Structure 1
Amino acid sequence: MDVGLVVEQCRAAVPGGTGRYTAELAQALMAAAEGTASLTGWVAEAVRAPELGLPIRSLHLAPQALARVWERGLGPGIRGADVVHAPTLLVPPRRRGQQLVVTIHDVVPWTHPETLTPRGVRFHQRMGARAAREASLVLTPTEAVAAQVRTILDPRAEVRALPPGRSSLPVPDDPTAVRAALGIEPGPYVLFVGTAEPRKGLDVLLEAFAEPVLAGCRLVVAGPSGWGGVDVQAQARSRGLEPVVHVTGRVTDTELAALYAGAAALAMPSRAEGFGLPVLEAMSCGVPVVTSDDPALVEVGAGATLVAPVGDHACLAQQLATAVNEPSPGGRLAAMGRTRSADFDWQATGRSLWSLYRGL
């Protein structure tokens, strides 16, 4: 069996969680391949081809051009593959005799379109509609998203939740030195990890830090700038929070591991998520986690996290204060998080996915 995996998201200017998912999925599939099974990654063009440990082939089109023609169901397809897997909604046209698998990470373009660019909404809605018509199998990262996909898109094919595994971040020899190089002074802090864009709830998080219960607590925001004009530093300055908010911008995996190692808690107050990879990363590092009550985040946490209603900055502040004041290391939330994170395993996901491919 020959499988073609679209890995273009790994080349994106802001790969985000779906870029990490795609890269780690590729590695898990390579590790789980047996017998005559083969896996090839496909990108728009060979420039900056990702190094994923598998053969990479190019479609010889600029990324923007490829997205435009695939959005209309036209253009070059994936050649020589029995099964084609699009791990994002960049979905190629289905060739005769091929099986098409599509991963839909969330339904934000339908439920929260105001948090995306108009172009992004149109693209994802059109691609989602085509995936619903053409896919042989639709995958989601959580049961919460699977239920939403069935309701909103009503795909012809089966919709199945298949969660990702936990990441293995490269822990540096001296995390304190790495944090110092990022400009972070010694002492505990609340960590936010993600792209700065409207649905992540950074405005709610900053309002929470204006609450007295978090007086003296610091916030570190790690991740690239996205869309929607979310300027964390400007928002912090307007609230008088500039002294306690530190924005690192994009970080490497080693820097991210150092940030988790020094964090007193992770905050993820998103308005909507499909999975919430930082929640899993933080739990696996023994960092207490506070999330919004978005259904996917609650599912991933499974009782091992503290939860605040979406948009409720006062409750978020109180929950963060509770998490920050937990004994460290060895607190209840840290222990529960480590236990929960063990339920997510890339090897198991890779084996399950090969089994699903063969069953099509």
Structure 2
Amino acid sequence: MRFFMDGRYIRTDFHDGISRFSHSLIHAVAQLTNPTIIIHDSAQRDLLPQNVDVVEFHAPTSVSEPMAALKLNAYQPDVVFSPMQTMGSAGRDFGLILTLHDLIYYQHRSPPRNLSQPVRGLWYLYHLTYAPQRLLLNGADAVATVSKTSQRLIRKHHLTSRPVHVISNAPPELDHARDPAGPREKTLIYMGSFMEYKNVETVISALQYLPEYQLHLCSRITEERRQEYLDFAHAHGVETGQLYFHDGIDDIGYRNLLREATALVTTSRSEGYGLPVAEAMAEGTPVVLSNLEIFQEIGGRTNPGAQFVDIESEHVSRQVADAVLALEDDKAFVRASIGAVRQAQTFRWDDSAKVLVDLAEDIHQRRTRRTS
């Protein structure tokens, strides 16, 4: 089977969610078979396993993307996997698996700020109705998603007539986690974008009850958004020195930060998976989360390493602070740290890779039988 995987979403500076998903899944699949990876930037080759072949293609944001299948036909793939759902399927001669991570932008239609104004406009219009999504997904042989929560929502809204498979996100595999009884700093971590639905303001406002704590905001941020958060902090009695903006952080720095912190905190109003949550737990760092269905799936409803706050409560900032303060007890932190690691280990890239390869082989066999 000639199995192609779309690696065009891999970033060459700092991973975002889709980049890390693509990168990690490709490396795990390469342990099982020899996929061909589609890239658009030659620098992406350096981030791939050594044993894979590559095909250089247009960028996924190109106007040529709707015709991607016709261009891919020339390489004679048997099955193609895309970590997104926008690859054009018209005229394809191969099996196709598309991925829909979540339904966030149907609830929160504001597009990412880093997109150009024309793209932002198209983004908004695209998410006004489910019809374009159904058209794209039904052009595939199967649809993948990253969690049982997203699988349930895709089925609930009848977004596709194709089978929907969970190819889960997962944290990196580590040699060892932090020592749960070791020293820890009075630091909190937020990793993720700064879009409105991420509700970072609630995390910041919790600092008014945690004057000894510093919040590390790890992702890249615009100067405008940074100033908005600083103004918000000042208005809510939070010292601006309690906010530390990394504006992007590499994997080593992020891992070191996690291993020293008291907790990773996120009070998002919507989420597709919450990879930073799994990453923190894998390091043995407890998490404080909004009580979303997806966070309860990833964090574990009975896991002492995950504490949940009521995102709709007017006292949610106080709840965040209380959850953090509870971790100052050494015994409570040890229990939480051990529980976090145990929960994180339920998600493994090796398992996700096997699901994907098995699915691709099944699609290939069914298509071969139809044409023989």
What TM-score bracket applies, with the shorter chain setting the length?
A: 0.7 to 0.9
* Mapping of residues 220-299 of structure 1, within 5 Å: 220-225=216-221, 229=225, 231-241=228-238, 242-299=240-297
Does the aligned pair in 2 maintain the 1:99–1:136 contact within 8 Å? yes
Counterpart of 1:349 (choices 341, 347, 352) is 352
Pair 1:301-2:299 in alignment:
yes
Counterpart of 2:98 (choices 93, 96, 102) is 102
- Measure the CA separation in 2 of the matches of 1:291 and 1:97: 44
Does the aligned pair in 1 maintain the 2:147–2:169 contact within 8 Å? no
* Mapping of residues 17-96 of structure 1, within 5 Å: 17-33=17-33, 38-46=34-42, 48-53=44-49, 54-59=52-57, 61-62=58-59, 64=61, 66=62, 68-71=63-66, 76-77=71-72, 79-96=75-92
Q: Which moved more, 1:18-27 or 1:117-126?
A: 117-126
1:11-50 residue CA offsets vs partner (Å, 9 max, x unmatched): 37774111101000000000122xxxx3111123435545
SS at match of 1:81: coil
Does the aligned pair in 2 maintain the 1:40–1:57 contact within 8 Å? yes
Q: Structure 1: which 5+ runs fail to align?
A: 172-185
Q: 1:335 to 1:170 in 2, by over 3 A?
A: closer
What amino acid is the match of 1:269?
A: T
Pair 1:152-2:157 in alignment:
yes
What value does the CA root-mean-square deviation take over the aligned residues? 3.0
Per the alignment, residue 175 of structure 1 pairs with: none
Q: Which moved more, 1:267-276 or 1:94-103?
A: 94-103
Shift of 1:101: 0.5
1:185-234 residue CA offsets vs partner (Å, 9 max, x unmatched): x9311111112222211112122223x3x232221111112799464334
Q: Which moved more, 1:1-10 or 1:321-330?
A: 321-330
SS at match of 1:145: helix
How many pairs align?
Answer: 339
Does the aligned pair in 1 maintain the 2:3–2:77 contact within 8 Å? yes
SS at match of 1:317: helix
What amino acid is the match of 2:229?
A: V
Pair 1:7-2:7 in alignment:
yes
Shift of 1:289: 0.6
- Measure the CA separation in 2 of the matches of 1:306 and 1:9: 32
Per the alignment, residue 177 of structure 1 pairs with: none
Q: 1:127 to 1:225 in 2, by over 3 A?
A: farther
Shift of 1:84: 0.7
Percent pairwise identity: 19
- Measure the CA separation in 1 of the matches of 2:101 and 2:350: 20
Q: 1:132 to 1:45 in 2, by over 3 A?
A: same
Counterpart of 1:112 (choices 108, 123, 143) is 108
Q: Which moved more, 1:7-16 or 1:215-224?
A: 7-16
SS at match of 1:257: helix
Return the TM-score normalized by structure 2: 0.81
Shift of 1:77: 3.1
* Mapping of residues 326-341 of structure 1, within 5 Å: 326=327, 327-328=329-330, 331-341=334-344
Per the alignment, residue 315 of structure 1 pairs with: 316
Shift of 1:107: 0.6
1:248-295 residue CA offsets vs partner (Å, 9 max, x unmatched): 110000000011011101101111111000110111111111111222
Shift of 1:328: 4.3
SS at match of 2:346: coil
Q: 1:127 to 1:331 in 2, by over 3 A?
A: farther
Counterpart of 2:192 (choices 191, 194, 206) is 194
Does the aligned pair in 2 maintain the 1:74–1:93 contact within 8 Å? yes
Does the aligned pair in 2 maintain the 1:77–1:92 contact within 8 Å? no
Does the aligned pair in 1 maintain the 2:69–2:92 contact within 8 Å? no
Shift of 1:70: 2.1
SS at match of 1:331: helix
Q: 1:336 to 1:62 in 2, by over 3 A?
A: closer
SS at match of 2:5: strand
Return the TM-score normalized by structure 1: 0.84
- Measure the CA separation in 1 of the matches of 2:223 and 2:197: 10
Shift of 1:301: 1.0
Per the alignment, residue 366 of structure 2 pairs with: none
Per the alignment, residue 326 of structure 2 pairs with: 325
What amino acid is the match of 1:359?
A: D
- Measure the CA separation in 1 of the matches of 2:158 and 2:14: 26
Q: Which moved more, 1:312-321 or 1:281-290?
A: 312-321
